[in-house]
Structure 1
C-alpha cells in the first residue's frame, strides 16, 4: 500500500499540471532536435545551427559567418533527418497505443499485422529487382504500397474467416506477416547479392536518406491519422474494457477495431516507407506513458507522440555518434533499449501490464 501511495503522489501531481508537462515536453523536443542537428561526425555549435535555420526561414535576417559546407550539413542533411525522426517516433508511438487498446494486447505494436513486412517487401522489389525507375521516390512509394496491400489482405482474410474479434484478427495478421516475410526473403535470395546490403540496412531502420521533399507525406499522415485517433480517445478507452462493455456503451466494437487497424496501417506505412523498420518504439513508449499518467487515452495519445518523438531523435543521435562516420542502424538502438526496458518492467511488475 505504501508503494502505491508513493506512485499515486507523483502521478497526481503530473495529472494536475498536465498542460505544463505537455509544454515542457514540447520544449524538450525542440531542444533535442536542435542538439540532434548539432552532433554528428562533424560537430556544429548550437549557435551556428540556430543561425543557419533562422537564415533559411528569414533570409537576410542574420549575417552569414559560416561556410557553405556547414550550411548544407545543417539545412539539407541533418534538419530533415531530425524532423523525420520526430514524425516517425510520434507516429509509431500513437499507433502502438491505439493497437494495444483495440486488441487488449500489451504486446501489440505497429508491426503486429504484417504492415512493416509488406513495406519491406515493396522496398526489396525496388532495390533488388525493378530499380529506381521513378527516381528517389520509388522506394518509399513501393514500401507504402506494400504496407497498404498487406493491410488489405489482412482485413480481407479476417472478413472471409469471420475473424473480427481482437485475438483472431491478431492471429490473422501474424499469419499474413509470416507469408509476406517469406516472400521478402525469397526476393532477397533471387536478387543481386551485391545490392543485398542496402536492403538489410533499410530493414534495420534509419533516417539517413531523409529529404525535405519527403517530409510532407509522413507529416500529413501523422496529423490526419493522429487527429482521428485523438477524436476517438473515449472509444479507445471503452475498447480496453472488452467488446461487450464497448458495445453496451454504443460502440460497434468489431467495425471500430477494423477502422482503427486501417488508420494505423496508413500511419505505419507512411512512417516505415521513409525510415525503414524501426522496432520497439510503438511497443515501449505507450507503456512508459501509461505508467506515469494512467490509462486515459485522452492523455496517453498526445503524450506518447511527444515522448516517442523525443526518444527517436535521441536514439538517432546515438546511432550517429557510436561508430562515426558510419550510421548504426536505428532499429538496433531501439531494439536494445526496448528489450532492456521490458526486462526491467517484468522484474518490477512480475508481468506485462
Structure 2
C-alpha cells in the first residue's frame, strides 16, 4: 500500500528547512558580531567570560575585567538588541503588507517609523518622564499609531487600499514628521540635538539590557498575536468581501494589527532611531520562497529580520576602521534599490497607474 502524502507536508518541510538555515546563520552572525568590532575578542576569551558568568572557571584566574565589561555592558546587549529590533521591523512589515494588501507597505515608507521618532524626540527635548523608563517607548508607540491610522484612512478608496495613494500618503507623513523633528532639533539643547540626529540616522550604539527587555516583551506579544490571527490574514488576502463572507471582522482585524505594529515599531524606534526597509525586503523574500500563508511567514520573517540587522550592525562597526557608520544608512543602501524594483513590479502587475 502506498502512503498518501499530505499536500501541506512539502510546505511544512520547506518552512522547517528555511527556519533551520536562518537559525544557523543567525547563530553564526551572533558569533561574528560578538568577536569583531573596535576591540577584537578571541573565541577563547568569550568562552571563559561566559563560563565565569555561570560560576565556572576553567583557568583558575579571573577574566580580564576590560573584556568582561566590553562583552556584558556593550557588545552582548548591542548584538541582542540588533536581532530583536530586526525581527520586530520585519514582522511589522509583514503585518502591514497583510492588512493593506500591498507589498509596498513598510513602517518607514508609510511614515510609521518617522512618526514614532517624532514622539520619541518630543520626550527628549522637553524632558517628559511621565512613564519612567517606558516614556520614550510609549510616546513613540502613540505617535507611530497616529501616523499609521492617518495612512490607513487616507489611502483607502472604494473599500481597498490604493498603491499610489499609500506611497504618497507615506511621503506626506514622512515630510510632516521630518519637519517636526527639525523643529525639535532647533528648540533642543546640544545634547537633545545629538540624540535627534541619532534618531534620523539610526544606530544601535549605546544599547542597554533594559532596552532589550522592553523591545523583547513587545516582540513576544506581537509574535503570539500574529500566530493567533494568521488564519484570518490568509482569508483577508482573498479579498475583503470573501473574508467577510467567511466570518472575518475585517475592520476590527485591521485596527488591532495597526495597534500591534505601532507598539513594536515604537519600541524599536525609541531605542535605535529610524531603520528603513527591513520590513520591506525580508517579508517579500520569505513570501517568494514560501508562498502567501502567514503562519510560516511570521516565523521566517522574524528570523530573517534578525539576521539582516545583526549583519548590518556588524557591518556598521567594521566596514570603516575607528568609526561607526549609521545602520539606517546601510539598510537604506540595500532596501532603496529593492524598493525601486518592487515599485516597478507592482506597477507592471497593475497594468500602469495612469
Into which bin does the TM-score normalised by the smaller protein fall? Answer: 0.7 to 0.9
Aligned residue pair count: 338
* CA distance in structure 1 between the aligned counterparts of 2:272 and 2:300, rounded to whole angstroms: 22
Q: Tell me what 1:21 maps to.
A: 18
Q: 1:84 aligns with which of 81, 85, 91?
A: 81
CA root-mean-square deviation: 3.3
* CA distance in structure 2 between the aligned counterparts of 1:304 and 1:242, rounded to whole angstroms: 23
Q: 2:198 aligns with which of 198, 201, 206?
A: 201
* CA distance in structure 1 between the aligned counterparts of 2:154 and 2:346, rounded to whole angstroms: 39
* CA distance in structure 2 between the aligned counterparts of 1:344 and 1:175, rounded to whole angstroms: 22
* CA distance in structure 2 between the aligned counterparts of 1:326 and 1:314, rounded to whole angstroms: 17
Instruction: Give yes or no for the alignment of 1:144 onto 2:138.
Output: yes
Q: Tell me what 2:278 maps to.
A: 281
Task: Please give the residue correspondences for 1:27-46 in structure 2 after superposition, counting only pairs within 5 Å.
Answer: 27-46=24-43
TM superposition score normalised by structure 1: 0.84
Range with greater deviation from structure 2 (333-342 or 150-159): 150-159
Q: Tell me what 1:119 maps to.
A: 116
Q: Residue 249 and residue 50 in structure 1: after superposition, are their counterparts in 2 closer, same or farther (change >3 A)?
A: farther
Instruction: Give yes or no for the alignment of 1:59 onto 2:77.
Output: no
State the 1:115 CA deviation: 2.8
Instruction: Give yes or no for the alignment of 1:257 onto 2:254.
Output: yes
Cα deviations across residues 69-98 of structure 1 (Å, max 9, x unaligned)? 111111111110010011001111011011
* CA distance in structure 2 between the aligned counterparts of 1:246 and 1:80, rounded to whole angstroms: 42
* CA distance in structure 1 between the aligned counterparts of 2:121 and 2:311, rounded to whole angstroms: 28
Q: Residue 32 and residue 263 in structure 1: after superposition, are their counterparts in 2 closer, same or farther (change >3 A)?
A: same
Cα deviations across residues 172-214 of structure 1 (Å, max 9, x unaligned)? 7765554333222222233346753432122211110111122
Q: Tell me what 2:100 maps to.
A: 103
Q: 2:229 aligns with which of 222, 229, 232?
A: 232
Q: Tell me what 1:296 maps to.
A: 293
Q: Residue 97 and residue 249 in structure 1: after superposition, are their counterparts in 2 closer, same or farther (change >3 A)?
A: same
Task: Please give the residue correspondences for 1:170-181 in structure 2 after superposition, counting only pairs within 5 Å.
Answer: 170=166, 176-181=173-178
Q: Tell me what 1:314 maps to.
A: 311
Q: Residue 89 and residue 69 in structure 1: after superposition, are their counterparts in 2 closer, same or farther (change >3 A)?
A: same
Q: Is the contact made by 2:104 and 2:342 (CA closer than 8 Å) also made in structure 1?
A: no
Q: 2:126 aligns with which of 119, 130, 134?
A: 130
2:56 aligned counterpart, secondary structure? coil
Q: Tell me what 1:9 maps to.
A: none
Cα deviations across residues 135-175 of structure 1 (Å, max 9, x unaligned)? 994xx732531331441475489789998955289577765
Q: Residue 62 and residue 239 in structure 1: after superposition, are their counterparts in 2 closer, same or farther (change >3 A)?
A: farther
Q: Is the contact made by 2:154 and 2:169 (CA closer than 8 Å) also made in structure 1?
A: no
Q: Is the contact made by 1:86 and 1:313 (CA closer than 8 Å) also made in structure 2?
A: yes
